[in-house]
Amino acid sequence: MSNIFTSSIGKKFMMSLAGLFLIVFLVVHLGINITLIIFNSTETFNKAATFMGTNPVIMVFEVVLFGGFLLHMIYGVILQIQNLFARPIGYKKANHSQTSYFSKYMLHTALIITIFLILHLFDFWVKNKFLGEVSKVTYNNGKTYHDLGKLVLERFQIGWVVVVYIILLLGLGFHLHHGFQSAFQTLGLNHKTYTPLIKGMGVFYSIVVTIGFILIPIIIYFFK
C-alpha cells in the first residue's frame, strides 16, 4: 500500500485521481459562474455559493478539493524533479510530438495556476471568511447572504483584472489539454480504440472550459 505514495507509478496514479477530481470541480464552478451573465441578479450565484460554502457534505468535499489540489501539485513537482535527475542531459533527438510539447510546460502552467488560485482565494474566500469585507444582501426568502456575486461583478469591471484573469486562464487551458488525456492514460485507459476518443474529449473539455471562464469576465466588463 505504501508503494502508492512512494513509487513513481503510485505518485502518477494519485496525481491523476486528484487531477480528475479537479476537472469535475471546474465544471461545477463554471456552471455557478455562468449564472452571473444569464440572470440580471446575483441571487442565484449567491445562493449557490452559500450552499457550496455551508452544506456539510460540500464542505467535506471542499477539504478534499484542497487536499487533491495540493496532492496534485506536490506529486507533479516531485515527478518533474525525478525526471530531471533521471536524465540531466537532454535527449540528442528531441521528440516534437504534440504530447511532448504540452507535457514540457506542465510545470510552468501549474505555477501559473497556483498563482491564480492564491489570488482567487484571497480575493473571495479569505475576504469573505476571515476579513468580513463582503457586503450582505437579503432576498424574499428572508435569508441573508454574502453578496459574492456583487464582488465578482465589481472585480470584472476593472480592465487589468480582466486581462490578468484571461492570461491565467489560458495557462489553465494549456494545462488541462495535456492533463486530461494524461490522467486517463495513467489510470490504464490507453488503447488504440479509446485513446483518440479520450484525446478528443480532452481537447473539447479544455477548450469549452477555458473559453467559458474567459467569456464571463469579458461579458461582464463590456455588457454588465
Full DSSP string of 76-123? HHHHHHHHHHH-SS--SS----HHHHHHHTHHHHHHHHHHHHHHHIII
Total of domains in the chain: 1
- pTM of this structure: 0.72
Burial letters 180-192, b for 16+ CB under 10 A, else e: bbbbbbbeeeeee
User: Burial of 193 by CB count in 10 Å (0-12 exposed, 13-18 middle, 19+ buried)?
Assistant: exposed
CA–CA gap between residue 146 and residue 125 (Å, rounded):
11
| CA 162/CA 145 separation, integer angstroms | 25
Mean pLDDT by 10 residues, the chain (224 residues): 52 64 84 93 91 74 65 65 61 47 60 73 70 81 88 92 90 77 66 76 89 95 89
Q: Which CATH number is 81's domain given? A: 1.20.1300.10
Structural domain that includes position 76: 3-89+96-223
| C-alpha torsion angle, residues 66, 69, 74, 76 (rounded to 10) | 180
Identify the pLDDT of residue 115. Answer: 75
Q: Are 14 and 75 in contact, with CB atoms under 8 Å apart?
A: yes
